[in-house]
Amino acid sequence: MGCHIRQYPVGKDTTGKGPPNKPLGFTTLLTPSKASQRTHLLHLQGMVRTLRAASPQALIGQRNPRIRGWSNSYAAVVAKATFARMDALLYAKLRRWTRRRHPDTSVSWVHQKYWRPRHGTCTFASTAGHTLGQHATTPMRRHTKVAGSRSPYDGDWVYWATRMGKHPETSKRWAFLLKRQQGRCLGCGLYFRQGDDIIELDHITPSTQGGDGQSRHLQLLHGHCHDTKTAHDQAVNGTCDKSQTTEEPDAGKLSRPVLKPSQEGRPS
């Protein structure tokens, strides 16, 4: 999974505990593996070399999705120091990229041209206002353990539906919608459960009727509830499915439908 798992000896105040509430003397930490860090850096370095003649805006547009995706994948492990290290190495590559474009200017002039203050730090940005994302700005999302007395079969659907919004792999939009809907499907009114295979994002007002992708016009539905609502929206608009063929056409003039005769010699 791209993580390095190791147990570190710690004191009695920070140690993990076993089932009988007995201190173990160590804690288990998950950090991004060295192979994953090296692959990420090589990818960023290759993008810088490929776009060495491009504009800062093009460079930012190519690198932001990569930085954001890699950081979010490790936001649930111990990666704060790794994120800071990635930003430091990225700064060195960007500084060389800018020095290659302006070899006859001073370092302070180059820094003032490409790095602008933002939230108390200097961030690489273009003249149009596009800012390069940083690994360290990714918020850490810790895994919340299940309470010892909780069970998926205890009938407390409010607790389990609320817990889905706190999962590290749940996006901010889905977490916001789960909280707004209080863990319920707005189609059938039932709570979402951990075992639900299909939970889909739906436009309250269909995009064909002018609906946009803003959160106030979105909702979460079960898969079958989403299908029912989509069919109802299409029925209101008067649309129908014309993609199905009602009868298989003949391949050409050389072939035609043939009826098999019955045992009595008459068409069946």
What does the CA dihedral 170, 173, 175, 181 come to, rounded to 10 degrees?
Answer: -140
Closest listed residue to residue 207, CA positions, set 237, 240, 176 = 237
Beta carbons within 10 angstroms of residue 227's beta carbon: 14
The count of residues in the chain is 268
Does residue 147 lie in a domain region? no
Q: How many angstroms separate the CA atoms of 84 and 134, rounded? A: 9
Q: What is the pLDDT along the chain (268 residues), one digit of tens a residue?
A: 688 888 888 887 878 777 777 888 888 888 999 999 999 999 999 999 999 889 999 999 999 999 998 998 898 889 999 999 999 999 999 999 999 999 999 989 999 899 988 777 788 998 888 899 999 988 888 777 777 777 777 777 777 777 777 676 677 788 888 888 888 888 888 888 766 668 888 888 887 777 777 777 889 888 889 988 888 887 766 554 545 444 555 555 555 555 555 454 555 4
Q: Do 119 and 167 sit in the same domain of this protein?
A: no
Q: Do 9 and 107 sit in the same domain of this protein?
A: yes
Query: What is the DSSP annotation of 180-213?
Result: HTTTB-TTT-PBP-TT-S-EEEEESS-GGGT--S
Q: Do 67 and 109 sit in the same domain of this protein?
A: yes
Range of the domain at 116: 3-124
| Six token digits for residue 225 | 């509830």
Q: Do 107 and 184 sit in the same domain of this protein?
A: no
Of 124, 143, 171, which one is at a domain's C-terminal end?
A: 124
Does residue 64 lie in a domain region? yes
Does residue 151 lie in a domain region? no
Q: What pLDDT is attached to residue 178?
A: 82
**SS3 of 220, please?**
strand
Does residue 247 lie in a domain region? no
CB contact set of 256 (below 8 Å; sequence gap of 6+): 250
Q: Do 18 and 98 sit in the same domain of this protein?
A: yes
Q: Do 104 and 186 sit in the same domain of this protein?
A: no
Q: What pLDDT is attached to residue 197?
A: 65
Q: Do 107 and 11 sit in the same domain of this protein?
A: yes
Q: What pLDDT is attached to residue 102?
A: 92
Q: How many angstroms separate the CA atoms of 38 and 29, rounded? A: 20
Q: Do 58 and 168 sit in the same domain of this protein?
A: no
Does residue 55 lie in a domain region? yes
Q: What angle do CA 14, 15, 16 make, to 5 degrees?
A: 125
CATH number at residue 203: 1.10.30
Q: How many angstroms separate the CA atoms of 74 and 2, rounded? A: 9
Does residue 57 lie in a domain region? yes
Does residue 208 lie in a domain region? yes
Q: What pLDDT is attached to residue 129?
A: 82
- DSSP element (H, E) containing 219: strand 218-222
Q: Do 117 and 207 sit in the same domain of this protein?
A: no
Please give the biggest Cα pair distance in the chain: 101
Does residue 146 lie in a domain region? no
Q: How many angstroms separate the CA atoms of 225 and 202, rounded? A: 10
Q: Do 94 and 183 sit in the same domain of this protein?
A: no
- Domain count of the chain? 2
